[in-house]
Amino acid sequence: MNHQIAPSILNADFMKLHEVITMLNGSEADLIHLDIMDGVFVPNLSFGFPVISQINAIATKPLDVHLMTVEPERYLERYRDAGANILTVHYEACKDLRQTLKDIKALGMKASVSLKPATDVAVLEPFLEQLDMVLIMTVEPGYGGQSFMEGSYDRLRKLRQMINEAGTGTLIEVDGGVGKQNLVQLRDAGVDVFVIGTSVFRADDPQAMISELKAM
Ligand code: DX5
Ligand code: ZN
C-alpha cells in the first residue's frame, strides 16, 4: 500500500480554517489530522467538539482525531458524533484500553492507540488484534514544530516486526517533526501514515508540499 499523508492543522491559521479545509479537500492528503489537547495530559490546549463538527461539515477526507487527553473513554460518543472517523487514544491515559478500543469500534470508528516517546512498543502486543492503527509519537506530545527524535527508528522497526508477526494489518502512523527530510527513511522503517504539521503549513505552497510528500 502507498503511504498516506495526514496534515495536522494545529499550526494552520485558525482565522482561515474554512480555506484550510477547502485546500486539504482539493489536495492529495489522505486524512485530516486533528490534535485535541486538554491541558492536563499535555501542557497545552487546542480545540474541541464544536471545531471538529464544523470541520466535519465541510471536510471530504476522513478525520483522524488524536486525543491527548486524560480519561478519553468519557467522550467517545461525542467524538463520533462530531465526525471522527479514526479515534486515537493515548496508552498512558487509558484505564482499560481493551474496553476503550472495543467501545470505539462499536461506535463505528477505527481504533488507534498512541505511545509517548518513552513508552515501550512491547506494551501493545496484547492489543494488536484490536488495533487498526498505532500512532508513534516522535516528539513529546503537546506542540507542533518540535524536532524529530532520532531514537524513534528502533521503536518503529520493532513495532513493524511485531505487527508483521501478528499478521493483523495494523497501520503505523508517526507524528512529530516529520517532513521531506525523513519521510523515506521512516517509510523504510515500516511507517504507513505520516502526520505532518509545520512542514506543510509553513511551506510557501502547502498544497504543493502535500503533493510532493505524497509522491516521495
Ligand atoms: C503534537 C501533535 C502533532 C503536531 C505535529 O503533539 O500531535 O500532530 O501537530 O506537528 P509537527 O509536524 O510540526 O511536528
Ligand atoms: Zn497529533
Which atom of ligand 1 lies at the shortest distance from residue 176's CA?
14
pTM surpassing 0.95?
yes
The one-letter amino acid at 134: V
What is the number of other CB atoms lying within 10 angstroms of the CB of residue 89? Answer: 26
pLDDT above 70: percentage of residues in the chain: 100
Cα three-residue angle 12-16-18, rounded to 5 degrees: 105
CA of 30 to the centre of ligand 2 (A): 15
Is residue 96 among the annotated active site residues? Answer: no
Strand ranges (E), 10-156: 32-37, 63-68, 86-90, 110-115, 133-137
28-59 pLDDT, tens digit per residue, is 999 999 999 999 999 999 999 999 999 999 99
CA of 68 to the centre of ligand 1 (A): 11
Which atom of ligand 1 lies at the shortest distance from residue 42's CA?
6
Residue whose Cα lies nearest atom 4 of ligand 1: it is 144
Query: Span 60-75, mean pLDDT?
Result: 98
113-172 pLDDT, tens digit per residue, is 999 999 999 999 999 999 999 999 999 999 999 999 999 999 999 999 999 999 999 999
- Sequence-distant (6+) residues with CB within 8 A of 188 are none
Question: What is the reported pLDDT for 1?
Answer: 66
Mean pLDDT of the residues in the chain: 98
Is residue 192 among the annotated active site residues? Answer: no
Using most ligand atoms within 8 A of CB, pick from 68, 195, 200 the residue to mutate for ligand 1.
Answer: 195
